[in-house]
Amino acid sequence: MLTLPAFVVALALLITVHEYGHYRVAVACGIKVLKFSIGFGKPIFTWRLKNKPTEFSIGMLPLGGYVRMLDEREAPVDLAERHLAFNTQRLKSRVAVVAAGPVANLLLAVLLYAVVNWSGLQEPKAVLASPVAGSLAERAGLRGHETVLKAAFAGEDPQPVRSFEDLRWRLTQGALDGRDLTLVLAGDSEGSAGEVLLPLSQLGSSEADAQLFRKIGILGPWTPPVMGEVMAGGAAERSGLRAGDVIQRVNDTAIVDGQQLREMIRASAAIDAGSSSGRRTIPLPQRWQIRRAGESLELQVTPQLKQEGAVAVPRIGAYVGARPEFVMVRYGPLEGLWQGAVHTSEVSLLTIKMIGRMVIGEASVKNLSGPLTIAEYAGKSASLGWTAYLLFLALISVSLGVLNLLPLPVLDGGHLMYYLWEWITGRSVSDAWMDRLQRGGVAILLGMMCIALFNDVTRLLG
């Protein structure tokens, strides 16, 4: 229900900010702006401000926008107004106008992140769940239930870790950049205190997906091994499990947290090589010792196999693990703004690195997302509340800003590339080369859009 309006609001805001950046700097540089349009196609609404030459309009197709300036390359310009034309401006003015759109999107992201920082956000506390067996975290000595106080990349001072999401972001950065991360732990009766080094550089990973975090071994925050909502008709209900049951043992293994229990369920499958239909995966029954209303019970639980892509994964049809402990993460005025700028720069750099890896083949083009995926996440984030929606808007605003700065003809970055050539050589790009580059840029952009749309449809149908 919220998907379409949330998507439209997101597009309208991000496009308006982008085009207003171009418009505002053009006016400041003394350039005559003829039209400011949000959307393409036939205008559904137009207006003019008093004593202003610009026509403002909203088009029927809200998938972009444009700012049309007086320019001798597009139409004849009266000699009396030649000094107001874009093409007659000094190089630095033209660079400022073109760069202003992407910069406006990045500044919007800083502001959105800052608003979230100022208002505060409830996030899971940075208490570690049991690590995945054989993972980097387990080999480093983590056992679960440790509280992470600080983290530091090699050669840097330790920085406070305010929440589990903060920790996850640092793990993502370290894994993709090949930088080792040192965790400073508080420890308690069930976890060791001190420092632990996670050699993330050993992973050699190029994509931030679920498999990356399984390799690291840190999948989520610590949760008590308590059953949550039990779905009707699922394996949990058929086995007699109820919400609120505390799981103490599975077979002969003592259960200490929800993550360990989820891993035990995931491991409850075997290959039946003797099947008449060939090798197939079958779920194995498990003995669960639980505590319910002060009494100990033993149940036999046989998970069901659920197809996830090409893999059949055991599931029991219930929410496993109680709600983790949450903390309120809030910053003061200046610190919140600074953290917004830092996070915007970090997301921008990560986006550029991922695009670079896709270009050289180190990362899959399946990471490209199009309008369908963006619309889906717009609706999901809006349903979670205004804070989640602001974070979504900030992320898309960063992506839009970075994408437009790519040195690709037809994008703002392509025009900046032309101006760099003009600055180095002292002459502008010829019309013939401009035409070739523009055609090539359109072809590349259309190819990227087709891949993104294909990925969208594949995700939705999968």
Q: How far apart are CA 49 and CA 125, in angstroms?
A: 51
> Are residues 339 and 462 located together in one domain of the fold?
yes
Hey, which residues are catalytic here? 19
Q: Which two tokens stand for residue 299?
A: 């149940």
Is residue 344 situated within a structural domain? yes
Q: Which two tokens stand for residue 162?
A: 């305010």
> Are residues 207 and 271 located together in one domain of the fold?
no
Phi/psi of residue 415, nearest 5 degrees: -65, -40
Is residue 74 situated within a structural domain? no
Nearest to 161 by CA among 195, 136, 119: 195
Burial (CB count within 10 angstroms: exposed 0-12, middle 13-18, buried 19+), residue 393:
buried
> Are residues 360 and 409 located together in one domain of the fold?
yes
Is residue 372 situated within a structural domain? yes
Average pLDDT over residues 424-453: 79
- The residue type found at 410 is V
Residues 6+ apart with CB under 8 A from 247: 225, 226, 227, 255, 261, 288, 289, 290
> Are residues 358 and 459 located together in one domain of the fold?
yes
Q: Which two tokens stand for residue 434?
A: 């401009």
Q: Which residues make beta-bridge pairs with 311?
A: 308
| Cβ 400 vs Cβ 14: under 8 Å | yes
What CATH number is attached to the domain comprising 203? 2.30.42
Collapse the DSSP code of 193 into the 3-class scheme (helix H, G, I; strand E, B; otherwise coil) and give the result: coil
pLDDT at 177 over 90: no
Q: Which residues make beta-bridge pairs with 71?
A: none
Q: Between 447 and 246, where is the model more confident?
A: 246
> Are residues 395 and 454 located together in one domain of the fold?
yes
Average pLDDT over residues 271-287: 65
| Cβ 33 vs Cβ 45: under 8 Å | no
Domain-ending residue, one of 296, 323, 350: 323
**Percent of the chain having pLDDT more than 90?**
35
pLDDT by residue (tens digit) across 69-80?
999 888 888 888
Lowest mean pLDDT among 78-82, 160-164, 310-314: 310-314
| Cβ 185 vs Cβ 176: under 8 Å | no
pLDDT at 378 over 70: yes
Rounded to the nearest 10 degrees, the angle between the axes of helix 91-119 and helix 3-28 is 140
Q: How far apart are CA 294 and CA 2, in angstroms?
A: 44
pLDDT at 185 over 70: yes
pLDDT for the residue 459:
65
Q: How far apart are CA 124 and CA 258, in angstroms?
A: 14
pLDDT at 433 over 50: yes
Q: How many residues does the chain have?
A: 462
> Are residues 282 and 360 located together in one domain of the fold?
no
pLDDT at 273 over 50: no
What CATH number is attached to the domain comprising 282? 2.30.42.10
> Are residues 277 and 167 located together in one domain of the fold?
no
Q: What's 127's DSSP letter?
A: B
pLDDT for the residue 358:
75
> Are residues 233 and 164 located together in one domain of the fold?
no
Collapse the DSSP code of 283 into the 3-class scheme (helix H, G, I; strand E, B; otherwise coil) and give the result: strand
Lowest mean pLDDT among 51-60, 235-244, 324-333, 377-386: 377-386
pLDDT at 192 over 60: no
Domain-ending residue, one of 272, 300, 323: 323
pLDDT for the residue 191:
46
Q: How far apart are CA 154 and CA 55, in angstroms?
A: 54
Based on C-alpha coordinates, what's the Rg of the chain?
A: 27
Is residue 60 situated within a structural domain? no
Is residue 353 situated within a structural domain? yes
Q: Which residues make beta-bridge pairs with 69?
A: 33
| Cβ 16 vs Cβ 37: under 8 Å | no
> Are residues 189 and 301 located together in one domain of the fold?
no
Lowest mean pLDDT among 161-175, 255-269, 361-375: 361-375
pLDDT for the residue 187:
61
Q: How far apart are CA 256 and CA 127, in angstroms?
A: 13
| Cβ 319 vs Cβ 242: under 8 Å | no
> Are residues 453 and 341 located together in one domain of the fold?
yes
- The H helix count followed by the E strand count for the chain is 12, 18
Range of the domain at 210: 136-216
> Are residues 273 and 163 located together in one domain of the fold?
no
- For the entire predicted model, the pTM comes to 0.80
Collapse the DSSP code of 179 into the 3-class scheme (helix H, G, I; strand E, B; otherwise coil) and give the result: coil
Nearest to 67 by CA among 304, 441, 432, 415: 415
Is residue 363 situated within a structural domain? yes
Q: How many domains does the chain have?
A: 3
Is residue 450 situated within a structural domain? yes
Domain-ending residue, one of 168, 188, 216: 216
Buried b (16+ CB within 10 A) or exposed e, 178-195: ebebebbbeeeeebeeee
> Are residues 192 and 314 located together in one domain of the fold?
no
pLDDT by residue (tens digit) across 144-160?
888 999 999 988 888 99
Is residue 43 situated within a structural domain? no
| Cβ 314 vs Cβ 269: under 8 Å | yes
| Number of other CB atoms surrounding residue 92 within 10 Å | 11
269-272 vs 280-283, strand pairing mode = antiparallel
Q: How far apart are CA 34 and CA 281, in angstroms?
A: 66
| Cβ 260 vs Cβ 203: under 8 Å | no
Q: How far apart are CA 227 and CA 141, in angstroms?
A: 28
